[in-house]
């Protein structure tokens, strides 16, 4: 991959930022790196890897990305892991589901063995491919488990089960420091990031934004607020609808857009979508948009057209949609949870809320005082530029790999 | 002396040249956290030295946009999460530079917290998700674009230096080498720079933010020969 991939980043972020990355990557030139996750499409992890891997190659590394396969039972089991991690009261998977989970990963390990065993660094993303490590004892390089989920509420039984695999890794990476598990290897803290030059974040013309709104029959002459997120109970879309309908009493004409989609590894999303559509069907000012995973430019337009962006999550790993909104200088009303707190500094780059009532009040307040929203927008963009762009994320990964190369680690 | 792990991928000073470095931290969680003052006190007994170093010094490379008051993470957490402003103030004035050993610093921290607990006021518990998580960090240093051949080149350069360079060459250097890199290098240029060296050594590295330290350094070097 040519270094030319970096040219537009130099223009946007300055040559020095990019030169730093090349400097750090020098000692890792040619290193074989493999990222493994559960899907090439949908969700924040896939979105990051789509650019991270080519950018790594543009720095002279030899990176590639593999997605594992799994049957329905496999993804049912891993979705349960995900829900348990986030504190939902689900039953722990029974032994047959766990056995299937391990068998599927044994199969994936056999298929990917030639690539993984020779790699210098393997990054396993989230619990789906986690148990693969057990079936590759001949591995040569450093294996790192990258967890993107919020883990502070994970029940002990889940940790006990997954630790049998996690303990085999050389290091782990979490987005936040809000978990209580000591592991027998270094636990790196690396928040995820957005790509400022992706279809989702690149500048759009006002005309394009308006055209996209009209495609979905959203009135561009009336203000709208939006939550752009996967259809998932932990994003509290029902709470958002309630908050919107309360605020609309004071701002008639306001519209709400709930736009999202499903990820290939999330079997519950259709049920959540149906529930929201039923709630919204009698309100002509609510637009529920089920978008395919490649709708990045549409999402970009929706975020840019919105007056306010909501991310009223009850639980959230990081919340890339928040960083996207802040990058576009939009005021954000967000759930006071997880990685959102790293991005929404209360009353500085947005506002944190704990209830639909809190969100409702903030919507009303921001619509009455748009200058406050503009101030937050400017501060938010600066925060994202300094902390949550893919360049910082890459720098952290390079730092991690360098520190794992060093004998003092 | 508190120390942090440094991995340097370039040569340092060679001969009379001063190679300015940038640095970046790899943040590592220890996997232990405190929700109350009692838990904080108990964990402080045993956490490794490099974690204390991080929470007193290296944290200033982690401050977000609004640049919180550059005190230690303990006072910040006690203030913002436990809302105990009395204890926060007492912890904030603990200056690690005043302690000959890490054990003395650790002892003072613990005694300060114990005193507060014994004062008998209700000891709050942090909300879920707001515990104090102990961290340590590893510093990765790498070259910047500047290689300084003569002190007069430094004058115009300081304002452009990254905050990570200021941290690495002033704060971190003092802990690695007992002297900051600027003073160390200027001393090799003889008596004309003695006054500047004395002033640099007096910069209050603990109570000033990195931006403020950079500004002071810039002023000192502007006025020097």
For B15-78, the three-class secondary structure string (H helix, E strand, C coil) is CCEEEEEEEEEEEEEEEEEECCHHHHHHHHCCCCHHHHHHHHCHHHHCCCCCCCCCCCHHHHHH
* Residues of chain B with C-beta less than 8 angstroms from the C-beta of A178: 33, 129, 131, 133
Hey, is the C-beta of B46 within 8 angstroms of any chain A C-beta?
Answer: no
CA distance A50 to chain B (A): 24
Mutate to test the interface with B, among A186, A350, A384, A393 (most CBs of B within 10 A): A186
The residues in B 121-180 lying below 8 A from A, measured between CB atoms, are 128-129, 131, 133, 135, 138, 140, 142-143, 145
In this structure, are residues A40 and A263 in contact, taking their beta carbons and an 8 Å threshold?
A: no
Give the pLDDT of residue A406: 60
CB distance A188–B64 less than 8 Å? no
Give the pLDDT of residue B215: 94
Q: Under 8 Å CB-to-CB from A103, ≥6 apart: which residues?
A: none
Q: Under 8 Å CB-to-CB from B78, ≥6 apart: which residues?
A: B37, B84, B87, B88, B91
CB distance B24–A183 less than 8 Å? no
Give the pLDDT of residue A408: 35
Give the pLDDT of residue B2: 41
Q: Which segments of chain B have a pLDDT < 70?
A: 1-15, 63-70, 121-123, 127-129, 225
d(CA A172, CA A159): 14
In what side-by-side order are the strands of the sheet with A62-67?
A62-67, A32-37, A121-125, A142-147, A171-174, A187-189, B18-34, B132-148, B5-8
Ramachandran sector of residue A325 (left: φ over 0; alpha: ψ -120 to 50; beta: rest)? alpha
CA distance B127 to chain A (A): 11
Distances (CA, A) of A85 to A90, A151, A270, A390, B223: 10, 5, 21, 26, 58
Neighbours of A22 (CB within 10 A): 15
The rounded average pLDDT for each run of 10 residues, N- to C-terminus, in chain A (409 residues) is 87 92 93 95 84 96 96 93 84 94 97 96 97 95 92 86 96 83 90 93 97 96 95 92 95 95 70 92 95 91 98 87 96 92 92 92 94 95 94 95 68
Query: Tokens 């020095």 label which residue?
Result: A16
Give the pLDDT of residue A331: 97
Hey, is the C-beta of B120 within 8 angstroms of any chain A C-beta?
Answer: no
In this structure, are residues A303 and A324 in contact, taking their beta carbons and an 8 Å threshold?
A: yes
CB distance A16–B145 less than 8 Å? yes
CB distance A20–B32 less than 8 Å? no
CB distance B7–A408 less than 8 Å? yes
* Residues of chain A with C-beta less than 8 angstroms from the C-beta of B138: 399, 403, 409
d(CA A266, CA B44): 42
* Residues of chain A with C-beta less than 8 angstroms from the C-beta of B128: 152
Which among A206, A195, A221, A197 is positioned nearest to A301, based on CA atoms?
A206
Ramachandran sector of residue A127 (left: φ over 0; alpha: ψ -120 to 50; beta: rest)? alpha
CB distance A395–B24 less than 8 Å? yes
Give the pLDDT of residue B64: 62
Query: Tokens 């707001």 label which residue?
Result: B130
Residue in B closest to A407 by C-alpha: B7
């Amino acid at each position: 991959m040519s270094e030319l991939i970096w040219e537009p980043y130099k223009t946007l972020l300055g040559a020095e930022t990019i030169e730093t990355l090349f400097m750090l990557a020098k000692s890792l030139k040619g290193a074989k790196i493999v990222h493994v996750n559960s899907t090439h499409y949908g969700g924040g992890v896939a979105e990051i890897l789509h650019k991270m891997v080519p950018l790594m190659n543009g720095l002279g590394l030899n990176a590639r990305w593999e997605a594992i396969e799994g049957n329905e039972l496999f993804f049912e089991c891993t979705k349960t892991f995900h829900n348990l991690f986030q504190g939902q009261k689900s039953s722990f998977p029974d032994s047959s589901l766990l056995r299937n989970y391990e068998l599927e990963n044994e199969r994936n390990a056999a298929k990917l063995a030639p690539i993984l065993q020779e790699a210098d660094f393997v990054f396993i993303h989230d619990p789906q491919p986690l148990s693969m490590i057990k079936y590759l004892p001949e591995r040569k390089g450093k294996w790192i488990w990258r967890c993107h989920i919020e883990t502070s509420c994970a029940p002990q039984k889940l940790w006990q089960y997954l630790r049998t695999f996690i303990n085999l890794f050389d290091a782990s990476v979490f987005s936040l420091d809000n978990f209580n598990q000591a592991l027998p290897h270094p636990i790196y803290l690396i928040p995820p990031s957005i790509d400022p030059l992706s279809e989702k974040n690149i500048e759009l013309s006002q005309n394009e934004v308006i055209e996209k709104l009209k495609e979905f029959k959203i009135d561009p002459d009336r203000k709208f607020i939006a939550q752009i997120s996967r259809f998932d109970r932990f994003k509290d879309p029902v709470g958002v609808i309630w908050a919107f309908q309360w605020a609309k009493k004071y701002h008639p004409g306001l519209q709400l857009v709930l736009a999202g989609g499903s990820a290939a590894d999330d079997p519950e999303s259709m049920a959540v979508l149906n529930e929201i559509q039923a709630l919204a069907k009698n309100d002509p000012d609510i637009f529920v948009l089920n978008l395919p995973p490649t709708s990045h430019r549409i999402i970009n337009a929706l975020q840019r057209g919105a007056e306010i962006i909501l991310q009223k999550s009850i639980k959230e790993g990081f919340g890339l949609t928040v960083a996207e909104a802040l990058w576009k200088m939009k005021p954000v009303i967000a759930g006071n949870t997880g990685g959102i707190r790293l991005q929404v500094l209360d009353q500085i780059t947005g506002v944190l809320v704990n209830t639909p009532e809190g969100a409702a009040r903030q919507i009303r307040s921001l619509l009455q005082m748009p200058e406050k929203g503009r101030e937050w927008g400017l501060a938010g963009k600066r925060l994202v530029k300094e902390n949550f762009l893919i360049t910082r994320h890459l720098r952290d990964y390079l730092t991690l790999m360098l520190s794992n190369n060093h004998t003092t680690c | 002396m508190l120390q942090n792990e440094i991995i340097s991928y370039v040569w340092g000073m060679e001969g009379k040249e001063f190679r300015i470095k940038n640095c970046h931290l790899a943040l590592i969680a220890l996997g232990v956290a405190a929700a109350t003052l009692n838990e904080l006190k108990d964990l402080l007994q045993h956490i490794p030295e490099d974690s204390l170093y991080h929470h007193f010094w290296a944290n200033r490379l982690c401050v977000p946009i609004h640049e919180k008051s550059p005190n230690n993470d303990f006072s910040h957490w006690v203030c913002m999460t436990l809302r105990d402003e009395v204890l926060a103030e007492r912890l904030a004035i603990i200056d690690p530079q005043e302690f000959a050993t890490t054990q003395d610093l650790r002892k003072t921290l613990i005694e300060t917290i114990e005193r507060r607990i014994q004062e008998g006021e209700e000891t709050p518990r942090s909300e879920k998700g707001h515990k104090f998580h102990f961290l340590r960090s590893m510093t990765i240093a790498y070259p910047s674009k500047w290689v300084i051949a003569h002190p007069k080149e430094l004058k115009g350069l300081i304002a452009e230096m990254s905050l990570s360079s200021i941290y690495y060459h002033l704060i971190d250097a003092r802990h690695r080498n007992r002297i900051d890199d600027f003073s160390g290098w200027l001393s090799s240029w003889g008596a004309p720079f003695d006054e500047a060296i004395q002033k640099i050594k007096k910069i209050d590295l603990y109570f000033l933010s990195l931006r403020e330290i950079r500004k002071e350094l810039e002023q000192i070097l502007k006025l020097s020969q």
